[in-house]
Amino acid sequence: MRHRDFYNGFEIEDGVFVSVEGETEKKVMPEGATLVRYNGNEERVTIPQGISYIDSDAFENNCDIKSVVIPDSVKVIWSYAFYGCKNLESVIIPNTVTRICRGAFTGTPWLEELKRENGTSATVVNGILIEPDSSDFGYEDYEYVIPEGVKKIPSMSIINDERVNYCEEEMHILYVSIPKSVLQIAGDAFGFKNGIVIKGYHDSYAEYYAKRHRLSFKELVAQSSDNPVLNWELDGDGNLQVFGMGKMPDFANGLKPPWHERCKEISKVVIHEGITSIGRCSFKDCTELKSAEIPISVTEIGKEAFFNCRKLSSILIPSSVVCIDDAAFYGCESLSDVYLPPCLLRLGRGTFGECSKLSSVNIPESLAEIEEETFYACNALTHITIPDTITYIGSKAFCGSGLIEITLPKCISAIYELTFAYCLKLRKAVLPRKFKHHMNETAEIKEMAFFNCLQLNAIEIPHNTEYIEQGAFAACESLTSIVIPNTVKRIDNTAFYKCTKLQTVTFQFYTPGCTHIWRIGKDAFAGCSALQSITIPDSVQQIDSGAFSDCISLRDVRFSPQTQIGENAFANTTFEKNN
């Protein structure tokens, strides 16, 4: 049970302790605490330094407060934190705040004044879109335009937008136009709506988001822009110095960096202040590169920027970086430890794939997603802490890594294909108690999610799981027991194939007359040689061929006489021989 205390009118969770200095006792506020509730009646409130989270409803409907100062220790302002504070006119929000959730400032004069000052229906704070309003727009185009400069579109951002609801009621297509600046979109940013078409630029996060959520995508034509003039020097010791102002060009589609012919000579890269982004493929295949210095002016590291820099062992990513694009450090097999900045919004697909010596990396709370193959084949990575701000972990994200234990965040909606497959050292995986529902996503454990995790000996399947897909736990040779929740509708082919130590399979209580699990797929439990007995729910209509074949110890099986049994479903079992 979490500890709560009171500190000058603030109700604090997990954060206040007593410090004794001589004969004096005083309350101390370390970082990491949550402000649960403000119980005071002051007009001017300064939240204590050390608070990291302002909880939902913390100041809700407080009519006394007129101004609030939020300290730079705060990272997240949760939903409806200041909802209905009808006299709140002044809010100071530091740049450290990376998430402002739905309705956090709804009904405050401060928010209304921001809208008037901006002259737009969209309000942006720290790059976060909050409180969209369609009152200034007509319905003729059925389009919602996210303004340039927005970096994050949070959960349920435009669910109450009039055009969203109007388009759904009238069965119109709603177009959502997303600029290149957007690096993070919550899974349920648009509610659970159908008929949405994402408009964005090629190779942008908007395109990635549309594909992942199976939404239609319409490409916008990018306007040409002038790239800065780059100056560079490469000395005889292999030190490359890069000078310029603004964004480096993307070296793609046949365009090579000016140092391309001498890339094998480069051992160190120094990028000078003034450059704001490292272009695509800038240092790709610089196989002798050992270190790189990036200035505080850089905010983005482009796709494949350091791809296959096999000797790169040292890099300091500055706190200014908000985006590391796909495969930026893929194949940097000498890279051993990386510190990711606290305001990072996107960590692209395959960023650290095949970084075989990477043993230490942090996941900042500013991130919402760990994309596909991010830590693929990082076999020196034995431990990692994933914060609860993460809502999505993509396929193959940790495939082939050296993880020993992993605790998954509580807001993920599924476990995707091959996410932890071939994690040969993984012994324990703690899944959320229940999956969280996001747009167009089903609560399920997808194909081969934990395939060939040879040492995985225990796992609890989330209580609202609907499908356990093909090969999800196949070849988990140390798994001894499993409980199938009563929400599961289907166990697919080879789901638990050759779990040779699996002794107990328990189907959670199934309500008679309700539609629950109806099918156990081909070879679903084949080769589970330690399994001795099983009771299959009456709701199961079909047990496919080979489902329990080669379960050589299986002698006691109970199932409904109405269940259809596939060919060789119980082949090479004691049960088959006795029946």
How confident is the model over 336-345, as pLDDT tens digits?
999 999 989 9
Helix (H) or strand (E) segment spanning residue 112? helix 109-118
Query: For position 44, what pLDDT does the model report?
Result: 94
Give residue 138's pLDDT band: very low, low, confident or very high (50, 70, 90). very low
CA dist., res. 479 & res. 505, Å (int)? 11
Q: Convert the pLDDT of each residue in 156-212 to its tens digit.
A: 665 545 555 555 555 456 788 899 999 998 877 776 556 788 999 988 999 999 998
The secondary structure of 187-223 as a DSSP string is TTTT-S-SSEEEEEETTSHHHHHHHHTT-EEEEEPPP
Q: Convert the pLDDT of each residue in 83-131 to its tens digit.
A: 999 999 999 999 888 788 878 898 899 988 887 876 666 678 878 887 5
Asked if 440 and 418 touch (Cβ cutoff 8 Å), the reply is no
Asked if 20 and 42 touch (Cβ cutoff 8 Å), the reply is no
Phi-psi region for residue 253, left (φ > 0), alpha (ψ -120 to 50) or beta?
Answer: left
Asked if 121 and 132 touch (Cβ cutoff 8 Å), the reply is yes
Helices and strands (DSSP H and E) totals, the chain: 4, 45
Q: Please provide the size of the chain in residues.
A: 579
CA dist., res. 317 & res. 320, Å (int)? 8
Ramachandran angles phi, psi of 232, nearest 5°: -150, 155
Q: Convert the pLDDT of each residue in 469-508 to its tens digit.
A: 999 999 999 999 999 999 999 999 999 999 999 999 999 8
CA dist., res. 502 & res. 555, Å (int)? 14
Q: Convert the pLDDT of each residue in 356-411 to its tens digit.
A: 999 999 999 899 999 999 999 999 999 999 998 899 999 999 999 999 999 999 88
Query: For position 148, what pLDDT does the model report?
Result: 84
Is residue 67 predicted with pLDDT exceeding 60?
yes
Q: Which two tokens stand for residue 176?
A: 């959502």
Contacts of 391 (CB under 8 A, 6+ apart): 186, 187, 368, 369, 409, 411, 412, 413, 436, 438
Query: For position 525, what pLDDT does the model report?
Result: 98
Q: Convert the pLDDT of each residue in 295-314 to its tens digit.
A: 999 999 999 999 999 999 98
- List own/partner pairs for 42-50 with CB under 8 A and 24 or more apart: 42/9, 43/67, 44/68, 45/69, 46/71, 47/10, 47/71, 47/74, 48/7, 48/8, 48/10, 49/73, 50/15
Q: Which two tokens stand for residue 340?
A: 């990711």
Q: Which two tokens stand for residue 404?
A: 């020993």
Q: What is the mean pLDDT of the chain?
A: 87
Candidate from 119-123, 449-453, 544-548 with smallest mean pLDDT: 119-123
Is residue 226 predicted with pLDDT exceeding 70?
no
CA dist., res. 122 & res. 140, Å (int)? 19
Query: For position 145, what pLDDT does the model report?
Result: 81
Strand 533-535, strand 556-558: pairing: parallel
Angle at 307 between CA 306 and CA 309, to 5 degrees: 70
Asked if 336 and 357 touch (Cβ cutoff 8 Å), the reply is yes
CA dist., res. 345 & res. 301, Å (int)? 12
CA dist., res. 279 & res. 109, Å (int)? 42
CA dist., res. 456 & res. 478, Å (int)? 6
Q: Which two tokens stand for residue 339?
A: 């510190």
Nearest by Cα to 548 from 577, 563, 568: 568
Query: For position 137, what pLDDT does the model report?
Result: 38
| Sheet containing strand 174-177, strands side by side | 143-145, 174-177, 196-201, 216-220
Give residue 133's pLDDT band: very low, low, confident or very high (50, 70, 90). very low
